[in-house]
Amino acid sequence: MSPHATGRLRVRRPVTVGVPLALIAALVTAAPAVSAPAQKDARVVRTATLGDIPLGAFSNALLPRSVGDDHGIDLGGIGSDICPAGHTGEFWTVTDRGPNGQIKVSGTKRRTFPVPGFDPAIVRIRVSGDTVKVLDAIPITTSSGKAVTGLSNQQGRDEAPYSYDAKSPLSYNPNGLDTEGIVRAADGTFWLIDEYSPSLVHVSAHGKVLTRYVPTGLNLTGADYPVVEALPAVLLHRKTNRGFEGLAQLSGGDLVIALQSPLSLPDTAAGEASRTTRLLRFSPKKKAVTGEYAYRFDPVDVVDPSEDDTSELKISSVVAVGGDRLLVEERTDKAARLQLVKLGRKANILGGPYDDDTTSPSLEQLADPAAAGVPVLDKRLVVDLGKVTGVPGKIEGVARVDHDTLALINDNDFGMTDGAGAFDAQGRLVDSGVETTVVYVRLPHGV
């Protein structure tokens, strides 16, 4: 593997990433065939796992000398989203902001960034037998070609960044992106979403940020790329670390963005208790939001029978399945369900009273939004992934393989856990053992 002038890593031999990265020691050339007879329930028909790739070597091949000490962490986190890459078994994925965790100091949790030089990357993978192979990687960079990094943007709005042991504060970076969803446009550029602002990010085919669309009134200054305030101001009330999480591209080219959790309106307590979040429709042609929709979660114990905390509900993926129809993933960290919705014109609440943060009660406070006259999106359960044997936890990416098969990918958090025990006395990662895994799920009735 060698860095190119564009900072793009291309693996021409898909069996290995190449020196110095050891991708997988041994490969299985094909997954076991799924035999008839057909079953009535959804089932896993393929499982593939990403092998160990040292994070420092991976990052430095893309942006030389960007990472000094990777603390023994391997490449992970590529399961923030997944979308088809145009060839059978190949997908585009995206990392999040990089290895991060929380350590409590004097009773207060601090957000740690063990590898502050890590730069979020777009990663092309191939599912081959029981192995996930890295074919290509593109670093996300500023207008001048520097790493955007995954560091927090604004003091007082985003979590303060600290070193791996939570002892030393790190500098904020207005360029930083906590990337999540990904789709590739017809012209070869990429659209990503970000949890910090929250924002929608247009990226060139080579990874350069072309424009970052943020909520009106954010006042993000100092970024080394264009920042445009084009999203509703009400999004400024996003819950910390719960900004945009799902992204889909409709057949006509419009984008659909999912807010991971209900807004904190009028306060944190209201957001934590709410089951109503929002979807946005964005027109790349108009460079504007053209639709907003109220999405209602099922009760948390319906999504995950082991959970009783409503604030654990979140959307992590949305997938276009034809026309204005979408699959929406409702999940906790342990369970997930896919719901089918359609974005009807009558359900559009954009510009209405619930975009005004002084409206009382807020959309998030309504115990029954439909009864209050809010056109909540109708939905139909397609599959309860929590009941499908072989589906890993924390699924964050869903892609449509064909009419009746979905590809799911988990976020393994780079093998990190929270707490002071995440690293040993020498500052090396105590790996969680959770691997990045892609599973194919066959649906009995298709979608």
**What is the tens place of the pLDDT at every residue in 347-397?**
999 999 999 999 999 999 999 999 999 999 999 999 999 999 999 999 999
Element (H, E) at 82: strand 82-84
CB atoms near residue 420 (< 10 Å): 12
Element (H, E) at 162: strand 161-162
**What is the tens place of the pLDDT at every residue in 277-298?**
999 999 999 999 999 999 999 9
In this structure, the chain runs to a length of 447
29 belongs to a structural domain: no
By DSSP bridging, strand 108-112 and strand 161-162 are parallel
130 belongs to a structural domain: yes
39 belongs to a structural domain: no
The residue type at 442: R
33 belongs to a structural domain: no
76 belongs to a structural domain: yes
**pLDDT in the model for residue 10:** 56
40 belongs to a structural domain: no
- The total domain count for the chain is 1
32 belongs to a structural domain: no
State the virtual CA torsion across 420, 426, 428, 432 in degrees, nearest 10.
Answer: -50
Dig out the tokens for 433 from the structure: 């053992």
**What is the tens place of the pLDDT at every residue in 86-143?**
999 999 999 999 999 999 999 999 999 999 999 999 999 999 999 999 999 999 999 9
**What is the tens place of the pLDDT at every residue in 129-177?**
999 999 999 999 999 999 999 999 999 999 999 999 999 999 999 999 9
CATH number at residue 401: 2.130.10
Dig out the tokens for 202 from the structure: 């247009």
Distance (Å, whole) CA 228 – CA 69: 35
430 belongs to a structural domain: yes
- Name the residue range of residue 302's domain: 9-24+46-442
Distance (Å, whole) CA 401 – CA 86: 10
